[in-house]
């Protein structure tokens, strides 16, 4: 049987391990889709961590290929993050089924199509097919958007049990049209995507400039 002092030491070790993991996650979370690389000072400013702490944890992230150090001393996310992202994409929905549907929608409508999944109070673009129009709605895979703004977010909220309007209506019609909701110059039409057993997988959104994607557009697409 362990002595009280050994049990206390083990508890301290566990707490320190969790804290170190949280800090390592904070370092990776410091990067946004706008960043090609970050300096040590930029990571410190965004995370609030000491530079010495970042350097220590960065070594572990470098070994795991979650982080890369460039010749100029700056850091960028490593190739292992790409693998994890691909695993996550495939764990949510079968890409060989979803992408052909998205491409067909984009070709028929001439607008951009995106697939969103919910993560807490936000939504993430998992897949996208861009319109061939020179003026189009553009989003990147991995971009994070508000949940309760935009047709895609409202569909995810509605089929996750959000109460009140417009969510009750969305559940009845199984679609949502939002014009100028998140962006005054953008309109979007979204519908839920369900998996086996009626489990909500995500929301499929067709979006473009509000001059093209409006109520009349929705009627034409039905």
The predicted-structure confidence for 118-150, as pLDDT tens digits, reads as follows: 988 999 999 999 988 888 888 888 899 999 999
Say if residue 142 is in the same domain as residue 99.
Answer: yes
66-114: per-residue pLDDT in tens?
999 999 999 999 989 888 887 877 777 777 888 899 999 999 889 999 9
Q: Is 196 a residue whose pLDDT tops 90?
A: no
pTM of the model: 0.68
Q: What letter would DSSP give residue 54?
A: H
Do 76 and 114 share a domain, yes or no? Answer: no
Residues paired with residue 192 on neighbouring β-strands, in sequence order = 203
pLDDT classification of 187: cutoffs 50, 70, 90:
confident
Q: Are 155 and 192 part of one and the same domain?
A: yes
In a domain, 61, yes or no: yes
Whether residue 200 is preceded by a cis peptide bond, meaning omega within 30 degrees of 0, is no
For residue 88, tell me if it sits in a domain: no
104 and 52 within one domain: no
| Rounded Cα–Cα distance for residues 206 and 108 (Å) | 11
197 pLDDT higher than 90: no
Are 17 and 116 found together in one domain? Answer: no
Range(s) of the domain holding residue 43: 4-83
Q: Which of 41, 61, 83 is the last residue of a domain?
A: 83
Do 114 and 193 reside in the same domain of the chain? yes
């Amino acid at each position: 049987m362990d002595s009280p002092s050994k049990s206390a030491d083990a508890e301290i070790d566990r707490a320190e391990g969790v804290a170190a993991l949280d800090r390592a996650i904070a370092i990776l979370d410091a990067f946004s889709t706008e960043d090609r690389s970050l300096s040590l000072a930029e990571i410190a400013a965004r995370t609030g961590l000491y530079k010495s702490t970042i350097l220590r944890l960065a070594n572990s992230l470098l070994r795991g290929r979650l982080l890369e150090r460039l010749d100029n001393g700056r850091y960028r996310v490593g190739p292992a993050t790409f693998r994890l992202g691909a695993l996550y994409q495939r764990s949510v929905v079968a890409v060989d089924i979803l992408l052909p549907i998205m491409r067909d929608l984009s070709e028929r409508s001439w607008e951009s199509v995106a697939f969103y999944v919910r993560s807490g109070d936000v939504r993430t673009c998992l897949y996208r097919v861009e319109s061939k129009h020179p003026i189009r709605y553009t989003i990147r895979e991995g971009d994070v958007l508000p949940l309760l703004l935009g047709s895609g977010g409202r569909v995810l909220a509605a089929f996750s049990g959000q109460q009140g309007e417009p969510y009750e209506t969305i559940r009845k019609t199984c679609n949502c049209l939002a014009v100028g909701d998140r962006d005054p110059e953008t309109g979007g039409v979204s519908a839920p995507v369900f998996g086996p057993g009626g489990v909500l997988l995500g929301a499929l959104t067709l979006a473009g400039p509000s001059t093209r994607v409006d109520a009349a557009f929705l009627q034409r697409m039905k």
